Amino acid sequence: MKMLKNSLIKLLWVAFGLVSCFQACASELSELLKKPDHVLLMRHAIAPGIGDPAGYKLQDCKTQRNLDATGRAQAQKTGQWLKAQGVGNALVFSSAWCRCKETAENLAFGTPALEASLNSFFDDMRQGPQSNANLQKFIANQLKAKGDKALVLVTHQVNMTEFTGATVGSGDMVLVKVNAAGKMISFKVYPSPS
């Protein structure tokens, strides 16, 4: 009986430690996103397939590769997770692709704004360097004006890889520290919480 009691006490201390670490880690993410040198990039949630069908149109979601029910749930869970981390106020920008817009909307931080520098260049990879230069400029300008709001950018794998060098899964996030010109200094990957 005494051994069981000691085991339970140890288990409670471990649980307390995990909760404390979770709260500390949570405040770290939200505090970094309040700073003028951090941005959170997110790859759109699960949208089965690769690329888009031939002849797709940005104005017609039915012609594109889109989120499925799992992807919508994943985006909602990510929004809830970010709020649990202490991210209460965010400026959210999205690529014009429907899978990115729907991901951004399901984060539930208000209506996301469209940003061309977040658009995919999967169809023409030669556009990568120019797209990345445009993204850096956009990030630099937004970070100067955002105050203590988090800057969250929903985009595509090709954009994230061009910007950070990281390859991430659907719904994964990358916290990026940038210099005044919006160029990456360092990054940390946060896997999708779903």
Question: Cα–Cα distance between 43 and 168 in angstroms, integer?
Answer: 7
pLDDT in tens, 109-162: 999 999 999 999 999 999 999 999 999 999 999 999 999 999 999 999 999 999
User: pTM, whole model, 2 decimals?
Assistant: 0.86
Helix (H) or strand (E) holding 129: helix 128-145
Q: Say if residues 172 and 191 touch (Cβ distance below 8 Å).
A: yes
Q: Say if residues 74 and 47 touch (Cβ distance below 8 Å).
A: no
CATH superfamily ID and name for 33-190:
Phosphoglycerate mutase-like (3.40.50.1240)
Q: What angle do CA 188, 115, 178 make, to 5 degrees?
A: 30
* Residue 189 structure tokens: 């990957």
pLDDT in tens, 147-174: 999 999 999 999 999 999 999 999 999 9
Q: Hey, where are the domains in the chain?
A: 33-190
Question: Cα–Cα distance between 117 and 61 in angstroms, integer?
Answer: 20
